[in-house]
Structure 1
């Protein structure tokens, strides 16, 4: 079984929800959204790290106001025993400081972290709504000497993820790739999210797979088990599964994360 991480959103009630439903020792990544801000991410990450979870806070470049603030963020991480972060550009309309992209952020993270900090970066199997394919590749090539791994945007077709991984290797990006997979989520919400972030191609792919497509997208909820099984049997599977939980910490997600740690 591939190792699995759960991505959570730092809502006000997320810490008690995790404590109630997710085994200690599970690796959790904590999102960083414009309407929450970095401090909410850090508060949740520090609290969960204190309860025995391995925590990876997301750091959105456009929300960091200065290099000094970045140093403060890393001091909080160090004090909490956090040794890994995930660097993204973020959705802010304009940068709050000197980091318009994750590339600039990664360089300062690596320097301020003294070479001991693991840094994950984002990958896009189906492209990015506002960044061209050549730009995405150029950025990954520039970051890979400082980064530890790539986490993909959620995708719904194992072949698309495998093809993306092959493409990266052919272009010289040799970082381990964690496959971003949607967890159990209401079908209507999933379709809305897919349209927003530009992952419709793989949804259309599975929708056209007859009985399997109806099984995956039919009913009221999407379930990731079939996609995870297909990823596990690829000739070169991903390094692990990055499960977008949408804060739905149901038993299936908990069991998968717990089993992957054995």
Structure 2
């Protein structure tokens, strides 16, 4: 199977770091997505999150909207938030039959105790439900700055096991990382991953432009490094919490540091944090400036 089957130009993308980016939305962002749609290239991958407090019907409606607008939906599945195997199976059957979903992003999720039968993402992958319903690719999480509950060595083992299971089942793995504020952890992690022989394509998580307090709030919740030194590199002073910040310095540093021989093929995945239109405006402005 070729990655072209699930992203038509993945294997022919240019070396422009902004070529072939993906986006993330929540079920509440459908109106914003419709408004911003003319700014987004056709077939752009758009992930739909699996947040607590959102109804399954709202998530499925968001997936449908992504497809209807001409983009490629990638719904999230949060293993520990699935209350039953039936809820999971019904969701997969509906998003594949009603919206032509070919890819999913499968994570363990945040609850310390599972709300149903699934402890982790590997259990979800092993059900057989995904390939039986025509899923072609599975996104899994990458943690360049580590995970608060899992050691670095364990993270690599989990990644290797999930990739092996996905491929054994005839699907393709894609790694999507947590967002960050500094290029160095991304580049070091990519180099170590390739040195370990992990050749799956990677989407590096980038925060869209947002209020500084909002960015720091998301960082705190997600365990992302946001020290004074890191934020200074990003262009933010922690003594000045007013205003907004964009990822100009981060994306430039990633672009300048990437060596496709050492880091493999890498694309960007934007976390808009509710500011979808602002993120797309930033992408277009940054692209024009580069030209």
TM class, shorter-length? 0.7 to 0.9
Which of 69, 73, 76 aligns to 1:55? It is 73
Contact kept, 8 Å, 1:74 with 1:113, in 2: the verdict is no
Q: Which residue of 2 aligns with 1:7?
A: 24
Q: Which residue of 2 aligns with 1:235?
A: 259
TM-score, scaled to structure 2:
0.78
Q: Which residue of 2 aligns with 1:66?
A: 84
**Superposed displacement of residue 215, structure 1:** 8.0
Contact kept, 8 Å, 2:92 with 2:130, in 1: the verdict is no
Contact kept, 8 Å, 1:4 with 1:256, in 2: the verdict is no
- The gaps in structure 2 that reach 5 residues or longer are 1-15, 167-171
Q: Which residue of 1 aligns with 2:145?
A: 126
Q: Which residue of 2 aligns with 1:19?
A: 34
Distance in 1 separating the partners of 2:189 and 2:49: 24
Structure-to-structure mapping, 1:124-203, within 5 angstroms = 124-145=143-164, 146=166, 147-200=172-225, 203=227
Larger relative contact order, structure 1 or 2 (CA cutoff 8 Å, min sep 6): 1
TM-score, scaled to structure 1:
0.85
Q: Which residue of 2 aligns with 1:244?
A: 271
Which of 200, 214, 221 aligns to 2:244? It is 221
Q: Describe the shift of the 1:87–1:163 C-alpha distance in structure 2 as closer, same or farther (beyond 3 A).
A: same
Q: Describe the shift of the 1:189–1:208 C-alpha distance in structure 2 as closer, same or farther (beyond 3 A).
A: closer
**Superposed displacement of residue 224, structure 1:** 1.0
Q: Describe the shift of the 1:114–1:9 C-alpha distance in structure 2 as closer, same or farther (beyond 3 A).
A: closer
**Superposed displacement of residue 52, structure 1:** 1.8
Contact kept, 8 Å, 2:272 with 2:279, in 1: the verdict is no
Contact kept, 8 Å, 1:32 with 1:58, in 2: the verdict is yes
Per-residue Cα deviation, 1:237-262 (whole angstroms, up to 9, x for no partner): 65211100012023552563797xxx
The count of residues paired between Structure 1 and Structure 2 equals 254
Q: Secondary structure at the match of 2:204?
A: strand
Q: Secondary structure at the match of 2:115?
A: coil
Which of 181, 206, 220 aligns to 2:230? It is 206
**Superposed displacement of residue 141, structure 1:** 0.8
Q: Which residue of 1 aligns with 2:108?
A: 89
**Superposed displacement of residue 235, structure 1:** 1.4
